[in-house]
């Protein structure tokens, strides 16, 4: 069995493979394992340095001929709630988001499966089984959480929890300077609610209430329709050669 040091992380490079965002491009990734007692601290440092997390792996693009992937974060205190965002917030007033421990459930997987089949049937996660989903949620040594969104019930004002079926879910890492959204999915029958945007807006509100300055959105790729929505959250900071910089 391969042993991975918890004190000094080792980094590895993947073989080239087709880029999922830009046709005709090849991608490579540098990655390391997040294991042991220092996994959360390492995940925080790497996230601030442009890495993303998948289970117990932290990775970032290391493409030889392309630098299109840009790490994006939103400074919550300067975030501008546009009229479009206000409409989405108002449309989802009847939903309540509840923070829960990162424990997989059959209800989550059913929603996850419906989301993939409707929105990403040809993507790299399309064949994920219930075991794969369980590992995505709980196979980690870092500080993470789930936020489950359900309709507001008669007792929600008292309990702070929603009622009825699961509508959307976000897997999110907790950092000392923000929330890092790892993966989110939602009921595909409610496309008119813009649930993906709603979850980001909710996380910006959560970060502000928690006194955290940033929400990390992962990578934005100029020219990729899959990533285009991230440009709507303004102002935002991009990670470049000189560190995190505000975008004009």
Given a contact cutoff of 8 angstroms between Cβ atoms, the answer to whether 195 and 186 are in contact is yes
Residue 44 CA to residue 144 CA, distance in Å, equals 11
The per-residue pLDDT for 136 is 94
Residue 113 CA to residue 229 CA, distance in Å, equals 22
| Block mean pLDDT (10 aa), the chain, length 248 | 58 94 92 94 96 95 92 98 98 96 96 91 79 93 97 85 93 98 96 96 98 97 87 96 92
The per-residue pLDDT for 234 is 97
Look at residue 144 and give its three-state secondary structure: strand
Length of the chain: 248
Residue 130 CA to residue 184 CA, distance in Å, equals 16
Eight-class DSSP state of 45: H
Nearest Cα neighbor of 207 from 229, 185, 177 is 177
The per-residue pLDDT for 206 is 98
Other Cβ atoms closer than 10 A to 99: 14
The per-residue pLDDT for 2 is 43
Look at residue 189 and give its three-state secondary structure: helix
The per-residue pLDDT for 1 is 36
Give this prediction's pTM: 0.92
For the chain, list the domains and their CATH numbers: 12-69 (no CATH), 73-246 (3.40.630.30)
């Amino acid at each position: 069995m391969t042993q991975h040091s918890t004190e000094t992380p080792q980094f590895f490079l993947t073989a080239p493979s087709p880029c999922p965002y830009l046709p005709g491009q090849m991608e490579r990734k540098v990655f390391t394992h997040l294991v042991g007692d220092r996994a959360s601290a390492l995940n925080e440092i790497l996230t601030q340095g442009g890495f993303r997390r998948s289970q117990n792996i932290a990775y970032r693009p290391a493409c030889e001929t392309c630098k299109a992937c840009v790490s994006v974060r939103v400074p919550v205190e300067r975030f501008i709630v546009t009229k479009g965002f206000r409409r989405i917030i108002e449309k989802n007033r009847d939903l309540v988001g509840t923070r829960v421990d990162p424990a997989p459930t059959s209800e989550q997987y059913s929603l996850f499966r419906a989301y993939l089949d409707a929105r990403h049937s040809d993507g790299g996660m399309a064949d994920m089984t219930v075991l794969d989903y369980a590992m995505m949620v709980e196979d980690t040594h870092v500080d993470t959480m789930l936020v489950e969104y359900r309709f507001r019930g008669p007792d929600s004002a008292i309990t702070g929890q929603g009622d009825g079926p699961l509508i959307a879910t976000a897997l999110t890492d907790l950092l000392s300077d923000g929330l890092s959204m790892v993966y989110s999915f939602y009921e595909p029958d409610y496309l008119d609610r813009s649930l993906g945007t709603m979850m980001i807006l909710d996380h910006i509100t959560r970060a502000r209430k928690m006194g955290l300055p940033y929400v990390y959105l992962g990578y934005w790729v100029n020219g990729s329709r899959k990533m285009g929505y991230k440009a709507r959250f303004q102002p935002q900071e991009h990670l470049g050669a000189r560190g995190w910089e505000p975008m004009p």
